[in-house]
Amino acid sequence: DMIDTSGTIVLASRGLKDAGANEIYLVCTHPIFSDPAIERLTKLYDEGVIKGVIGTDSVIHENKPEWYYEVSVAPLFGDVIYRIENNMSVSEELD
């Protein structure tokens, strides 16, 4: 899903840590990071609650925090667009 202001994911992360989780990595498909998300996630990272956040490049982030790891979806999007334009199956790519 997405991380917008990170309010929900902060609560979930703290709950997991309180329940005994050792290493927490947050993963999202659409990292919006509206204010105050960066501040909240940085606090979680600094406190040792999370190890990092993994997201896609569906949103451009120029100044990436040290805890943020980005995965590119460009090759997938490019292939899907190619398949649509050439009347090829998109579901075969996604299987």
Specify the pTM: 0.84
Residues 6+ apart with CB under 8 A from 37: 3, 4, 5, 6
Q: Which residues pair with 93 in a beta bridge?
A: none
64-91 confidence digits (pLDDT tens): 999 999 999 999 999 999 999 999 999 9
Q: Is 72 left (phi over 0), alpha (psi -120 to 50) or beta?
A: beta
3-16 confidence digits (pLDDT tens): 999 999 999 999 99
